[in-house]
Structure 1
Amino acid sequence: MVVLKRDPQHSLTEYPADGCENFQCVVRKNGLLKDDKLDEDGVNKFLDEIEQENPKDKSVTDKVRSECLDEKYEAYPPEDACPVLKFYICTYINIYLECNSWKKDETCSKMAQQANQCRLALEN
């Protein structure tokens, strides 16, 4: 499993993750954690930056906002996972299902298919 993280040039890079501590570390470094809880205001600012840099993919940030904020990520399995991991799972699934420009690339298309299979498995 990987975690998406912004680098100084504002691109997304992957980092390995073994548990909640790693997810919390990445989220904290991106300014999305406040008092050890997901800072939804920080997430919205982060998504605003992504929208400004990639206006054609606004549907992606809209999807994350509608499906993963206001604590909606809490509904995502696994049930015993920490909130930050649930937020990551929610975001991962919804980003790869929504991002049309990424699906044009063969690798990203495969990742979108994998995210869809993951979503279907989680619904059962």
Structure 2
Amino acid sequence: MFLCIIFALAVSACIAEEAVSSPIRCAAIPYTIYSCIGNPRIIKRGASINCDTSANECEKMTCIFRNSGWLKDGKVEKEKVVAHFDQFATDNPEWSAALQHAKTTCLASNLPAQGAQLNCPAYDIMICALSSFIKNAQPSQWSNAEQCEYPKQYAAACPVCPNDCFAPLVPYGSCNACLALPRSP
């Protein structure tokens, strides 16, 4: 009997020493994810200066696209966005894989709504491009800081959904099925 108790204590001590990792929660994008991949800035500095900061995300992105010269008569001029992405890749070759993915996925065809904003191509393109940056960041581009471990795991395991998809008033299962993901561990 005494031997069984010692064996049980030894087993529980071994189990307690194992690292317990928390499950990845596919929900809102971790706040630090962009800083963990080096904050790639695909929007020209100054493009958002005259945009209303109190506007919704669609209006902000439309304003930025307009100020960048990527909109004409309310329509996105994809060839101008592609030219900007090509220049960004030339200036930042470490992001060429992410930009190639963004051009193929976000600009090649009609992109479905990427979030709760409907009929907003500027918003859809930008969310899709940011997703491409997160999903296609090379291991060397990720910070080794401790606070970046969870965002790195999130990027590997979860689809990138705009945070507005997780607002209480957004219907379950919308936003490209991002709300169909588990909300808690």
Superposition TM-score, scaled by structure 2 size: 0.50
Which residues of 2 match residues 1-124 of structure 1 at below 5 A? 5-7=43-45, 18-74=56-112, 76-78=114-116, 80-100=118-138, 101-104=140-143, 106=145, 110=151, 113=154, 116-119=158-161, 122=178, 124=180
Q: Closer, same or farther in 2 for the Cα pair 1:58/1:122, shift >3 Å? A: same
Question: Which residue identity is paired with 1:122?
Answer: C
> Following TM superposition, by how much is the alpha carbon of 1:76 offset from its aligned partner in structure 2, in angstroms?
3.1
Give, in whole Å, the separation in 2 of the partners of 1:78 and 1:105: 33
> Following TM superposition, by how much is the alpha carbon of 1:90 offset from its aligned partner in structure 2, in angstroms?
1.0
Q: Closer, same or farther in 2 for the Cα pair 1:90/1:112, shift >3 Å? A: farther
Question: Which residue identity is paired with 2:87?
Answer: E
Percent identical = 22
Superposed CA deviations along residues 62-118 of structure 1, whole A, max 9, x for unmatched, are 010111112342253437351221112211111111122432354676278369343
Give, in whole Å, the separation in 1 of the partners of 2:96 and 2:70: 20
Superposition TM-score, scaled by structure 1 size: 0.70
Superposed CA deviations along residues 7-53 of structure 1, whole A, max 9, x for unmatched, are 17xxxxxxx66232211011111222122111110111101110110
- Structure 1 residue runs of 4+, over 4 Å off? 105-109
Q: Closer, same or farther in 2 for the Cα pair 1:113/1:33, shift >3 Å? A: farther
Higher relative contact order (CA 8 A, sep 6+): 2
Which structure: greater helix fraction? 1
* Structure 1 residue matching 2:56: 3-state secondary structure: coil
Which structure: greater strand fraction? 1
Q: Closer, same or farther in 2 for the Cα pair 1:84/1:117, shift >3 Å? A: same
Whose Rg is larger? 2
- How many residue pairs match? The answer is 117
Give, in whole Å, the separation in 1 of the partners of 2:153 and 2:87: 23
1:103–1:112 CA contact under 8 A, matched in 2: no
> Following TM superposition, by how much is the alpha carbon of 1:59 offset from its aligned partner in structure 2, in angstroms?
0.3
Q: Closer, same or farther in 2 for the Cα pair 1:105/1:42, shift >3 Å? A: farther
Q: Which moved more, 1:29-38 or 1:102-111?
A: 102-111
